[in-house]
Amino acid sequence: MSETLAIVLETAVTEFGEEVKKSLEDGKITIMETVGFVSSLTEKCMKVARVVPDATGAQKKEAVRTAVISLWDKVLRPMDLPGPDAVIDRLVDMFLPVVLDFIIDDKFKIFEMVGWE
């Protein structure tokens, strides 16, 4: 992966993570809020990644995926999702990468059709 891309996306994740923490000061989060944050960060990272010239499309896609999973690990995982933690965390760990791939693929298709601005 491009070092520039990794640095730029890590900065975006850190900034977005701080916004998420401020909006969820009570330490609780719903499933819908989680989906919204993941979708928003995915789109934000894609917009950031598009301007990095020294990375291929595949590298950008993988970097976006890594950045969003990083947000999950650093910010969202510590939040209290509804339901038993042992069950919910395990389900998220199993399905987040799969769902994230679909979200990224769909957003890439949309961005390609309508433009990246």
Burial class (CB in 10 A: 0-12, 13-18, 19+), 67: buried
**Predicted TM-score (pTM) of this structure:** 0.72
Number of domains in the chain: 1
The 10s digit of each residue's pLDDT in 48-65 is 887 777 777 788 888 888
Q: For residue 19, how many other CB atoms are within 10 A of its CB?
A: 13
> Residue 64 gets which letter from DSSP?
H
Confidence band of 98 (pLDDT split at 50, 70, 90): confident
Q: Would you say 107 and 43 are in contact if contact means Cβ atoms under 8 Å apart?
A: yes
Q: Which residues pair with 80 in a beta bridge?
A: 28
Q: Provide the domain limits for residue 49.
A: 3-114
